[in-house]
Structure 1
């Protein structure tokens, strides 16, 4: 796999293309756990906004250790972004990001007492992938298996 220069701009582009992400955190007893999340917004500086309950195991883990990882994946490419999270009290931002799908998790709407706004601040990112769309990536992977060659792809790292 060839090395590629990964930039903040490319990282943000990849992050914005994905509807779902896995957020991994560390529990108080040291276990690494991952939860599927929907980014509400990805900023130009690679920070990400999420809605997350203020109560429960995930909230407890984030309060004890705000260091987390976001994992983005699709056929043939993966992006891992390390950073920290914090709950933010910002009514205007909450209203800006609110959509009808969020209400399924917070039935009290914007007034739900468990509704929390979380900001992820990125520190670094690592990328592994095959250039091209999903079909191209799948074909390249299959061809490398048939041909008995090294899997095609690039890898890169960036400090954000």
Structure 2
């Protein structure tokens, strides 16, 4: 888990990315697929809509440990979050998070019995944020190749939580 300040930092890194790659386990093999955030803030839990009949739902029921990764190459942001998946068919939550983007994927509407919310309770993670331009990063790599005592300074990296 992380502090309220750290949760704000994580949200600041991922809120504009919007789409993360969700990794579940199926038959001992990891499966990744894009998932779109539906919330407006972050308190340690991430929410996504999915179909109850989707393969990821069966995989999450079998093994609730999942990983999510977010990437924004333009801003040098990379976030990896690990946690536990839970499924919800709570109409109040569905109403709260329903939006036109989600509606496009569910033509039967929010009352469709196949509409389900996937909740990821984040337990740990790691994030990277480049503090300088790509040109500076290239300079740092070149300098490290010329000077074996130099380690490239590519920006911020932080791990948090417990597994």
- Relative to the length of structure 2, the TM-score reads 0.82
Q: Which residue of 1 aligns with 2:47?
A: 49
SS at match of 1:59: helix
**Superimposed CA distance per residue, residues 22-68 of structure 1 (whole angstroms, 9 cap, x where no aligned partner):** 111101x1100111010101644221111011013211111111110
Q: Which residue of 1 aligns with 2:8?
A: 9
Matched, 1:143 2:139: yes
Q: How many residues align?
A: 150
Deviates more, 1:36-45 or 1:82-91: 36-45
Report the alpha carbon displacement of residue 9 of structure 1 after superposing the two structures with TM.
Answer: 2.6
Asked if the contact 2:13–2:77 (Cα under 8 Å) also holds between the matched residues in 1, the reply is: no
Q: Which residue of 2 aligns with 1:3?
A: none
> How well do the aligned residues superpose, as a CA RMSD in angstroms?
2.0
- Relative to the length of structure 1, the TM-score reads 0.83
Q: Which residue of 1 aligns with 2:65?
A: 67
SS at match of 1:152: coil
**Superimposed CA distance per residue, residues 61-120 of structure 1 (whole angstroms, 9 cap, x where no aligned partner):** 111111101101112221111101111132122112111111222110112221111111
Structure of greater relative contact order (alpha carbons < 8 Å, 6+ residues apart) = 1
Asked if the contact 2:82–2:123 (Cα under 8 Å) also holds between the matched residues in 1, the reply is: yes
Listed as ranges, the gaps of 5+ residues in structure 2 are 146-151
Listed as ranges, the gaps of 5+ residues in structure 1 are 1-5
| Equivalence map 1:13-92=2 (5 Å) | 13-27=12-26, 29-41=27-39, 43-75=41-73, 76-92=76-92
